[in-house]
Structure 1
Amino acid sequence: MEGNYFIFSISIAVLIVLISSIIFLFRRKNSRQSILLIGLSESGKTTLFTQLAYNSFVSTVTSIKENEAPITLKNNKTLVLFDLPGFDRLRSQYWEKFKFRAKGIIFVIDSLNFMSNVHNVADLLYQYLCDSFVVSNRIPVLIACTKQDETRAKSAKVISSMLEKEFNIIRETRIGALGTTSGDESSIQILGDPESLFKFSDLRNSIDFADCSCVKEQKNLDNVFSWINSIA
């Protein structure tokens, strides 16, 4: 009798744990109803944020805290848009705080000054794409290439190609480090198949690129809005 009671108690305990786990996972999944705007400082994140959230152009300064606003989509569903600081001393702190809310990520690139920042842009994007939460949850990412109203701005197609080349260099450096480090090799992440040239299409996450402009006279955010609606 006591044996049956013990088995019954264990079964109830296991069932409670399973139900609690399912509820936790469900709540966590449904808590991911946000779009995160990330990127280097002065990449145009806050300008893009004000256009997406308020359809308004305002002069901006470097953000030292997050900006937050709800946006209503075509299906009347509402997502929360977060503009996270790009300043290097704050970037990681805010990323770790908000990444678990992400339904999607918009990585903003200043297309006009891309050539002078290509190494820093690639290194930062690589870090985000290696993040275990982003990878395991297959968070979709949009690379928003801003300032396309400028004649010297690089197109999304060119930026995509150059980033793939930079990622190959980053991977070679990291693979080399694997052969020399005596530390924790699991902390060195390699994106894609190291036996072939890197392509964004090889990643488990959906990676899209979009040309866009926030200038009032030549505003073009259709690609960005279409992407947000597609993942909602």
Structure 2
Amino acid sequence: MASPRNAASGARVTPEVESISSLLLHPLLQDPKFVAAVLAVFLSVVLFTCKPSAKRRVGGRSGTPTVLLVGPADSGKTALFAKLAHGSRTETHTSITPSSTTFSLDSEDPARTAIRLVDIPGHPRLRDEVKRNLKTASAVVFVVDIQALLRNAGAIAEELPPILTTVASASLASGQPTKLLLLASKADLLSRPSPTTPSPTLSASTRQTAADRLSSVLTREMDRLKQSRASTGGRIEGIGRVQSSGGTGLAGLWKRFFGGRGGGDVDDAELEEDETLVWGGRGTFRWEDVEGVEIAWGVSALGAVKAVGEEGEGLDEVREWLRSV
């Protein structure tokens, strides 16, 4: 029988399990360096176990990549859509109904080069449709009629900030950059005198003229828009480069570390769009300041209407860019 001597004598009995409060007062937990190291290890483990893999695209970007054709009305989007997807150019008209198709860039390996192409008309009533599709697109082609650019430069450039803002915000939320091609279409019509039959074959000088015009005019107009926003107290005043579209607190921390919500999905209602992602800091506008968007430039020519299987270099740049999506 156990002796009750210890209890009778009033001796203090040491508990077999220490209380939580005593554990929190352990000297190691009072050392800031030790606590920081433990938190770093914990976050690293969570990062590598919970972050979506590169193959799984966030916000619906899985499977066959989706490429959007956007831009002003009558810029040549539908003609480009028909030429890429069906190999022919037909008469087109302004529409307010988006079109989509899936096609292959390479007949030898259709599965690897499959592209879902979506043509969204430039009608103002379709702005919500454009925005909704931009959030899940793998890549975007902004089509500009290079002949109409000079007379409509301001209106064309004003369509870019909303597109860039949505794409940049979605890219940073998902942790995956979106590709954007700024395309000078109808470049074959720049030659003087104008050809009686437009050809998809572009001379080096014509291609360079179209590329230089597109870059210089759009850059000038985007810089004008930036300075206008700054002078009127817009959101870019005094703002430097924005690293993330996430919010503050734990939700913002989670977005910065893991790209979106815990489950790996981007909720349209939760996606915070921030125009400062487009403009960078003070000074002139620079395309490289646009956050989360890989911007490229291209030139295209389609040739005569109803031409089927026409050879030439008119879409070589576009096809090469699509292969990188």
Q: Structure 1-normalised TM-score?
A: 0.78
Matched residue SS, 2:62: helix
Aligned to 1:8: none
Aligned 8 A contact 1:147 1:214 in 2: yes
Aligned 8 A contact 1:212 1:221 in 2: yes
Which string of whole-angstrom CA distances, capped at 9 and with x for unpartnered residues, describes residues 178-211 of structure 1?
A: 369xxxxx97723243323222233331111111
Tell me if 1:203 matches 2:258: no
Aligned to 1:221: 315
> Which one is further off, 67-76 or 146-155?
146-155
Tell me if 1:177 matches 2:232: yes
Structure 1 unaligned residues grouped into runs of 5+: 1-18, 181-185
Tell me if 1:159 matches 2:187: no
**1:25 shift after superposition:** 6.3
Aligned 8 A contact 1:210 1:223 in 2: yes
C-alpha distance in structure 2 between counterparts of 1:146 and 1:73, whole Å:
20
Which string of whole-angstrom CA distances, capped at 9 and with x for unpartnered residues, describes residues 24-74 of structure 1?
A: 966733157210000001110000000010011100001211111112133
Matched residue SS, 2:152: helix
Aligned 8 A contact 1:64 1:85 in 2: yes
C-alpha distance in structure 1 between counterparts of 2:59 and 2:187, whole Å:
39
Question: Are the structure 2 counterparts of residues 26 and 160 from structure 1 closer, same or farther at C-alpha, using a change threshold of 3 Å?
Answer: closer
C-alpha distance in structure 2 between counterparts of 1:129 and 1:97, whole Å:
13
**1:88 shift after superposition:** 1.2
Question: Are the structure 2 counterparts of residues 25 and 48 from structure 1 closer, same or farther at C-alpha, using a change threshold of 3 Å?
Answer: closer
Aligned 8 A contact 2:98 2:120 in 1: yes
Structure 2 unaligned residues grouped into runs of 5+: 1-48, 192-205, 236-271, 305-309
Question: Are the structure 2 counterparts of residues 25 and 43 from structure 1 closer, same or farther at C-alpha, using a change threshold of 3 Å?
Answer: closer
Question: Are the structure 2 counterparts of residues 168 and 194 from structure 1 closer, same or farther at C-alpha, using a change threshold of 3 Å?
Answer: farther
Tell me if 1:55 matches 2:87: yes
C-alpha distance in structure 1 between counterparts of 2:144 and 2:280, whole Å:
25
C-alpha distance in structure 2 between counterparts of 1:26 and 1:167, whole Å:
29
Alignment-mate amino acid for residue 84 of structure 1:
I
- Trace 1:98-177 onto structure 2 (pairs within 5 A): 98-131=133-166, 132-134=169-171, 136=173, 137-151=176-190, 155-177=210-232
Among residues 92, 97, 115, which one is paired with 1:79 in the alignment?
A: 115
Question: Are the structure 2 counterparts of residues 22 and 223 from structure 1 closer, same or farther at C-alpha, using a change threshold of 3 Å?
Answer: closer
Equivalent pairs counted in the alignment come to 207
**CA RMSD across the alignment:** 2.8
Q: Percent identity?
A: 25
C-alpha distance in structure 1 between counterparts of 2:284 and 2:164, whole Å:
17
Aligned to 1:16: none
Aligned 8 A contact 1:51 1:214 in 2: yes
Matched residue SS, 2:102: strand
- Trace 1:7-86 onto structure 2 (pairs within 5 A): 28-30=60-62, 33-74=65-106, 75-76=109-110, 77=112, 78-86=114-122
Among residues 88, 93, 118, which one is paired with 2:124 in the alignment?
A: 88
